Amino acid sequence: MNKIITLIAILFLTGCSIGGEKKIKIFSMEEPRAKLNLAAPTPVEMEKIRWIIITSANSQEVFAKLEAEGIDPVLFGLTDKDYEIIAKNFAQIRSKLKESTEILNKYKEYYEADQQQPKNEEKK
Amino acid sequence: MIFGQIRMIITVLLLAGIGGAGIYVMKLRSDNAILKANQLKLEQSVESQKKLIEQQKKDFDDILKANKQLNVLVEGLKKDFNDLDQRFNKGGRDLGKVAIERTGAIERIVNKATEKAARCIELASGAPHTEEELKATKKSEINTECPSIANPNFVPYE
């Protein structure tokens, strides 16, 4: 009887170690860098502006019309040459904007081609 | 006695030979297994190298394509800018004088052009094209301020 009790006690004490200690395996896995995935900037929405051309001949009429429309009779002026310059300046700004947007898109296409890109839906 | 010793030596040699042959065969089998494993690894390596070369080729093509597309875009933008510059001074035109002579008409033209230019900025900042902009192929249909941005399907003609 004592032998059986001793055997059971030994089994209880050593039971968990049957099969030996499991060896801890240490391995390294390459985890790809998280995608930046910044949201694309919202396109600008331009407000409509109105140019008024004033000459020495129509200035009275223009100011009278402004007053009739309830608009302050004051205008911020540009000469014809300055108008040309401002038009060209804006053309340069939009060129650079377009270029930068395109470069950004190309980078995104190149480095994140494996990810599905939500395409901008065309306006109806 | 001597024959007994010789027989013993021969037996030992024979056993040693058989043992040696056995070990040699085992070594050969082990070598064979290693060589097979090596060949498998080499084949895998060649395969992965092929894939790498294909990927590099694809990357190179993509880079060339992107550069080409950007160059086309930059050329288009330059042309748009030059067209604007020429429009103001076409045939020795003086915008100021024309505006004095035809104030109302020039005011309408300037306002229309400003509207188009504003649309160009919207598109340049990433706004989607309208169907009309995409379909435009004639001069009368395009955004004359920036056809290279607004009308991707328009091919300039004289």
Task: Tell me which residue in B106, B122, B134 faces A43 most closely, judged by beta carbons.
Answer: B122
User: How confident is the model over B81-94, as a mean pLDDT?
Assistant: 85
* Main-chain dihedrals φ then ψ at residue A42, nearest 5 degrees: -70, 130
Domain contains A59: no
pLDDT of residue A40: 82
Q: Which two tokens stand for residue B44?
A: 């895998």
The answer to whether the Cβ–Cβ distance between A88 and B84 falls below 8 Å is yes
pTM of the model: 0.69
Residues 6+ apart with CB under 8 A from B23: none
What does the pLDDT look like over A62-89, one tens digit per residue? 999 999 999 999 999 999 999 999 999 9
Residue B149: pLDDT band by 50, 70, 90 thresholds? Answer: very high
| Average pLDDT along chain B | 92
Domains of chain B by residue range: 92-158
What pLDDT score does B66 carry? 93
CB contact under 8 A, A101 and B126: yes
Nearest to A122 among B59, B70, B129 (CB): B129
> For residue A113, is pLDDT > 80?
no
Residue range of the domain that includes A107: 78-113
**Chain B residues lying within 8 Å of A51, measured CB to CB:** 107, 110-111, 114
First to last CA, chain B: 121
Chain A residues closer than 8 Å to B66 by CB: 106, 109-110
Q: Is residue A58 part of a domain?
A: no
For B5-22, the pLDDT digits (tens) are 899 999 999 999 999 999
pLDDT attached to residue A70? 95
B77 touches A95 (CB < 8 A): yes
Predicted ipTM of the assembly: 0.71
The pLDDT of residue B4 is above 80 = yes
Q: Is B110 on the interface with A (CB under 8 A)?
A: yes
Residue A66 located in a structural domain = no
Residue A72 within a domain: no
Which residue among B70, B94, B121 sits closest to A103, beta carbon to beta carbon? B70
Q: Answer whether A51's CB lies under 8 Å from B110's CB.
A: yes
Taking 50 as the threshold, does the pLDDT of residue A91 lie above it?
Answer: yes
Q: How many domains does chain A have?
A: 1
pLDDT digits (tens, 9 = 90+) for B54-83: 999 999 999 999 999 999 999 999 999 998
- Does the pLDDT at position A120 exceed 60? no
Q: What is the DSSP string of B137-148?
A: -STTTS-TT-HH
SS3 A61: helix
Strands (DSSP E) found in chain B: none
CA B133/CA B112 separation, integer angstroms: 16
Q: Which residues of A touch B129 (CB under 8 A)?
A: 122-123
